[in-house]
Amino acid sequence: MKSSPIFRLAALSALISASLLAQAQGDPATLNRIADIGKNHSQIMDRFHYLCFDIGPRLTSSPELYRGQLWAMGQFKRFGCTNVHLEKWGEFPVGSDRGPHQVCRMVEPFESEMVFTTPSWSNGTKGLERGEAMLLPETLDDLKAHAADVKGKWIVSVPGRGGSATEINAELEKDGALGRVFGSRNELVITSGPNWKSVTYEKHPGLPQVTVRKSDIDRILRNLTFKRKVVLEINAENRWFKGPVPQYNVVAEIKGTEKPDEVVIVSGHFDSWNGPLSQGAQDNGVGSMTAMEAARILCAAHAKPKRTIRFILWSGEEQGIFGSTNYVKMHKDELDKISAVLVDDGGGNYQGGYNILPQMKPMMEEAIKKSQETFPELPQALRVVNGTRMPRGGGSDHAPFNAVGVPGFFTIETGTLNYNFVHHTQNDRFESCIPAYLIQSGTNHAIVSYNLACAETLLPREPKPAQ
Ligand SMILES: [Zn+2]
């Protein structure tokens, strides 16, 4: 059958308006204000500076993390967010933090400052402890034979010497050593803290375990090889706090005007490792400050999203993505109404796009459009993933959502920064970041979350698994 031209025109315009409707998102005038406030009147670097220098690193279970969370709540309230609160997701058996006294240097045969770390939830020194450096004997039996020499010494440990760590540590502790000194593989000293589960306030055994840069350990070993007397001074002030210590996510909202029970989540983890010198800047001060800046921009632009935009600063990420995992468990009944979870946790580069399913493409293209127009020099990409499911794994706070079929996005990070140089190291500091990247990231978060919150539908998601 041949249709009339009028009929064909009507069909065409219905098709166009249907596809426009499918893509209609934020109000253009509001988007202009968001882009202007985000790009030309940014406040992200001020807040990021305060976080790095006035609050500092934020180990899960530490008083600093809690202090930071209270500050963040105050900021969200100042912006004009509602429903600002701490949501408890669990407890840590004992609190850990570092005091201000963090010293590590060689004082004989000449003075040389060293860069060091100790594991979180491990014993530090008893004040400044000065002692001769002694190379760990070849075997446990050798060590036992030299037991009388160990007292008051810093025991320099190189791979392959000594045998089982547990036996060596027990023997050194019995013999009165000050602690062990290890060398890093390179100039980065990496902080972790695997023992948080096994220690209590009353019982946290073990000698200080100090790791210094490769150049520092090499200098010590060179002097020991020449039979020079090497003396080290170390003060690692590690503190313990009585548990159980309650743990929280920070939550704040801009309530939706039409579908307040449907939600777009903008998030990043607020906790960090806390090795000496680290400020938890790129991991993940950046990702929490971009979420906060998005909230500020949207409030200042008087954005009225149709759905609720919920800002969440997770914690317990570094120890096992606990904050987000428990959030998914605690909000089981609301998961079908979460459109998308945006997670910024890939370091200090800019938000360079998203990994998406094919059916998300039209909506996501529209969602990032304003951001791309605003920052043409910082292009984004939408990478369509293979298969029908969002990528699993990926070790950050998007993962627990994807595991239950809620679209979780670990923002693609694009730019010139080398994340490996800072990740969990002494270099994770304010000055390692680029302001232009943070400004784009905060603004992009605001634009994308506002657009998704105003879209006609929730973001299309993967099919539910057959029951
Ligand atoms: Zn992180």
How far does residue 424's CA lie from ligand 1's centre (Å)?
Answer: 9
Q: Who contacts 263 (Cβ-Cβ below 8 Å, separation ≥6)? A: 256, 307, 308, 309, 310, 334, 337, 338, 339
Gap from CA of 291 to ligand 1 centroid (Å)? 14
- The CA 265 to ligand 1 mean position distance, Å, reads 17
Rounded to the nearest whole angstrom, what is the distance from the C-alpha of residue 68 to the centroid of ligand 1? Answer: 16
pLDDT for residue 21 is more than 50: no
- Bridge pairing between strands 408-410 and 95-108: unpaired
Distance 371 CA to ligand 1 centre (A): 24
Q: What is the mean pLDDT of residues 28-32?
A: 98
Distance in Å, CA 253 to ligand 1 centroid: 23
State pLDDT tens for residues 56-80.
Answer: 999 999 999 999 999 999 999 999 9
| CA-to-CA separations, 292 to 235, 253, 344, 410, in angstroms, rounded | 36, 11, 12, 17
Label residue 149 by pLDDT band (50, 70, 90).
Answer: very high
With a cut of 90, say whether residue 22 has pLDDT above it. Answer: no
What is the whole-number distance in angstroms between the Cα of residue 242 and the centre of ligand 1?
26
171-199: pLDDT as tens digits: 999 999 999 999 999 999 999 999 999 99
Q: Does residue 265 register a pLDDT over 90? A: yes
The answer to whether 71 touches 250, Cβ cutoff 8 Å, is no
- From ligand 1's centre to the CA of 208, what distance in Å? 26
What mean pLDDT, rounded, does the chain reach? Answer: 94
Half-sphere exposure (CA, 13 Å, Cβ side) for 335?
21
> What residues does each domain of the chain span?
26-93+244-454, 96-239
- 467: confidence class by pLDDT, cuts 50, 70, 90: low
| Residue 87, pLDDT above cutoff 60 | yes
- In the prediction, which pLDDT does 2 show? 44
Spacing, Cα 396 to ligand 1 middle (Å): 7
Which pLDDT belongs to residue 444? 98
Q: Measured in angstroms, how far is the CA atom of residue 270 from the centroid of ligand 1? A: 8
Return the CATH class of domain 26-93+244-454.
alpha beta
Centroid of ligand 1 to alpha carbon of 345 (angstroms): 5
On the question of pLDDT at 464 being above 90, the answer is no
Torsion sign across C-alpha atoms 324, 329, 331, 336: positive
* Confidence class for position 17, pLDDT limits 50, 70, 90: very low
Cα of 217 vs centre of ligand 1, distance in Å, is 29
Q: What is the pLDDT of residue 413?
A: 96
**pLDDT the model gives residue 465:** 74
Question: 373-399 pLDDT, tens per residue?
Answer: 999 999 999 999 988 899 887 789 999
- Ligand 1 geometric centre to CA of 462 (Å): 26
* 4 Cα to the center of ligand 1, angstroms: 60
Output the CA 458–ligand 1 centroid distance in Å. Answer: 27
Residue 282 CA to ligand 1 center (angstroms) comes to 8
Q: Is the pLDDT of residue 295 over 50?
A: yes
Residue 408 has pLDDT above 80, yes or no: yes
Q: What is the CATH number of domain 96-239?
A: 3.50.30.30
Contact 68, 76 (CB under 8 A): no
Q: Which of helix, strand or coil describes residue 329? A: helix
> How many residues make up the chain in this entry?
467
For the chain, give the percent of residues with pLDDT over 90.
Answer: 90
pLDDT band at 161 (very low <50, low <70, confident <90, very high): confident
pLDDT digit string, tens, across residues 222-246: 999 999 999 999 999 999 999 999 9
165 Cα to the center of ligand 1, angstroms? 29
8-17, 108-117, 309-318, 453-462: least confidently modelled range = 8-17
> Does the pLDDT value for residue 14 go beyond 60?
no
- Classify residue 421 by burial, with Cβ atoms within 10 Å: 0-12, 13-18, 19+: middle
pTM value? 0.93
Tell how far the Cα of 290 is from the centroid of ligand 1, in angstroms. 13
The Å distance, Cα 32 to ligand 1 centre, comes to 31
